[in-house]
Amino acid sequence: MMFKHRSPSQQEKILTLALRQIEIMLKNMQSDGKDLSRLKLKKFQKTHHIDCSCKLCKTAKTKNDPRLRGLLEDGFKVYLPGSSKDS
Ligand SMILES: [Zn+2]
């Protein structure tokens, strides 16, 4: 994890700050005349290969819950529908 060495309250603070920054940025964009009404946020997760046998994937298999699988990538993507091929 990225914030491994930080306490939960520090994480909260960072999150609050980040959200405030994003809000300010979006407000600025909007006052610049940008149309943000179609803006979308998507969470993406790339799981390990279906045949992977690491600890996480094994647990996922035994519990029959794909959400427990190991992750290669995990993050967020902001996009405008129709503006990119992979939306
Ligand atoms: Zn795995």
Q: What is the pLDDT along the chain (87 residues), one digit of tens a residue?
A: 555 666 888 889 998 999 999 899 999 999 999 888 888 888 888 999 989 999 999 999 999 998 899 999 988 888 888 755 554
| CA 75 remoteness from chain centre | 3
Q: How many angstroms from the chain centroid is the CA of residue 78? A: 9
Q: How far is the CA of 21 from the centre of ligand 1 (A)?
A: 35
pTM of the model: 0.46
Tokens 């946020």 correspond to what residue? Answer: 41
E strands of 1-87, at which residues?
40-47, 71-79
C-alpha 47/C-alpha 56 separation (Å) is 10
Provide the pLDDT for residue 44: 87
- As given in the structure block, the two tokens for residue 83 are 């503006």
Ligand 1 centroid from CA 9, angstroms = 31
